Structure 1
Amino acid sequence: MLKVVKPIENQEQESRKPGRKGRWKLWLLLTVLLVAALSVIFFRSSLSHIQQIEVEGNVYVDRSAVIEAAGLRIGGQFFASSATNVEQRIVSNLNAVESATVEKRFPGKILLRVDEYSPVAYELLEDGSVQALLGSGAEIPLRDQGLPAEKPMLTEWEGKEEEKARLCRVLASVPDGLLSDLSEIMPASTESYPDRIRIYTRSRFEVETTVSLLKDRLEILDGITETQSPGSIKMFEANVYVPFVNAELETESGE
């Protein structure tokens, strides 16, 4: 005999069966809990910590200074900062560094590559020590690096740090070939020309100009030193060249 199931009874049986939607929510909850537990275990393990920091490309800046500027330390969180943020910290905290590259190698190794500004001059200090001056104006005491080849010596710039940094930035924008003849640069400010400087060249010329005009005048100066005998050159709004021989003759005739 066939059993007739009433509609109401059939609905009650269907309602007792677990739905697919309920099983999906259960699996999702279990997955989230598992991921959370694994994350806690991972970030507490040594795999998530910085185990090694290497620095490359530094000549004038100490390794420890680069790491400190980066805000990193052994044992710190490997994923705490992005490579871009670390690069920005290095450049902003170290004026000797022009650019930086950070490479993260899992697990736990970070490589910091720095590109420093090149030396544009060196400076003789009052105590007889010498320091390198980089294109950014950074001052680096010389230890084992040696003197920059064919770079001018800056003298009598103590207390004129802002003007000296400005001069360094100008020198950094000039081709090396135009700097090779510059032997010494010293400040010689006047009321008319607050940034006036005096330059002595290896070819025995004495030059007066200003920091603001220097870049434009160096190419002209190179042409004069290549073709004329040693003398005095004033390079302001107009350029005036007087050979030392003529100046000596005028002095003798005046006596």
Structure 2
Amino acid sequence: MLKVVKPIEHQEQESRKPRRKGRWKLWLTLIVLLSAVLSVVFFRSSLSRIQEIEVEGNVYADRSAVIEAAGLRIGGQFFESSATSIEQRIVSNLNAIEHATVEKRFPGKILLTVDEYDPVAYELLRDGSIQALLGSGAEIPLGDQGLPAEKPMLTEWEGKEEEKAKLCRVLASVPDGQLSDLSEIMPAATESFPDKIRIFTRSRFEVETTVSLLKDKLEILGGITETQNPGFINMMDGSYLVPFVESEAESEVTP
């Protein structure tokens, strides 16, 4: 049986629908406005600001330098940069840092943990001061850190920054055991070999080679210094040893 809707009843039903839709739109608008107001209030409050910055793991890089490289400051926006972007800024702005980890602890605390390159040598400068050279080529003036143990001393490298950085990267790839006998490394560039170097060992050998050959030649050098008398070792394309001539005083046998 068909239901006959009276015109008045039909009009009442139609009038209710727009009211409900209008009511939902009003609530949605109020919610959006309230969220916007709360967001503005929050980002202007101290809860959204950086209140504390901690740095861990730094030995050679200064704490303030790490914070500056990260692009952070007390009072800055806590949510302005992601942890990943802060990590990338630290590594790209400080060549002493190999890795960086950033941890955000709400409200307002940021922890920066850095992993520095290891020292591979130290350098004696013309003014008598000494600086540590890290595996990245970074130069760190030595204060209270002390000298890197059993690392070679670089001399006469001032003004040769690019070649020195290349040497440091090679030294960083060499096991510590192969570096312990190296006492001094000097540049000895020639027209034919622009990266030629001269090495003096603690076992009293003098060695000539190149930076590009150094890693492979050091594997051979240990066997020579342990089995032969001190002398001059040429380790360019090939390798040969010329023993030092002993003086009469050294060769005399005391009765």
Deviation at 1:141, TM superposition (A): 0.3
Match of 1:51 in 2: 51
Match of 1:165 in 2: 165
RMSD (Å) for aligned C-alpha atoms = 1.6
The letter of the residue matching 1:204 is: R
Within-5 A mapping of 1:79-98? 79-98=79-98
SS at match of 1:17: helix
Runs ≥4 in structure 1, deviation > 6 angstroms? none
Deviation at 1:36, TM superposition (A): 1.1
Unaligned runs of 5+ in 2: 249-255
Change (3 A) 1:6 1:215: closer
- Distance in 1, matches of 2:218 and 2:22, equals 81
Identity %: 78
Unaligned runs of 5+ in 1: 250-255
- Distance in 1, matches of 2:119 and 2:88, equals 22
The letter of the residue matching 2:22 is: G
SS at match of 1:78: coil
CA deviations on 1:129-158 (whole Å, 9 max, x unpaired) are 000000000000000000000000000001
Tell whether 2:10 aligns with 1:14.
Answer: no
Deviation at 1:6, TM superposition (A): 5.8
Change (3 A) 1:20 1:230: same
Match of 2:183 in 1: 183
- Distance in 2, matches of 1:123 and 1:220, equals 25
Report the number of matched residues: 245
Change (3 A) 1:6 1:147: closer
Match of 1:27 in 2: 27
- Distance in 1, matches of 2:28 and 2:201, equals 78
Match of 2:42 in 1: 42
Within-5 A mapping of 1:143-154? 143-154=143-154
Match of 1:112 in 2: 112
Match of 1:252 in 2: none
Tell whether 2:134 aligns with 1:134.
Answer: yes
Within-5 A mapping of 1:201-220? 201-220=201-220
Deviation at 1:216, TM superposition (A): 0.4
- Distance in 1, matches of 2:82 and 2:228, equals 58
- Distance in 1, matches of 2:207 and 2:169, equals 20
Deviation at 1:37, TM superposition (A): 1.2
The letter of the residue matching 1:187 is: P
The letter of the residue matching 1:226 is: E
The letter of the residue matching 2:188 is: A
Match of 1:227 in 2: 227
Deviation at 1:76, TM superposition (A): 0.3
- Distance in 1, matches of 2:138 and 2:62, equals 14
SS at match of 1:120: strand
Deviation at 1:8, TM superposition (A): 2.1
Deviation at 1:5, TM superposition (A): 8.1
Report the TM-score, using the length of structure 2 for normalisation: 0.92
The letter of the residue matching 1:41 is: V
- Distance in 1, matches of 2:5 and 2:67, equals 79
- Distance in 2, matches of 1:71 and 1:190, equals 44
Tell whether 2:123 aligns with 1:101.
Answer: no
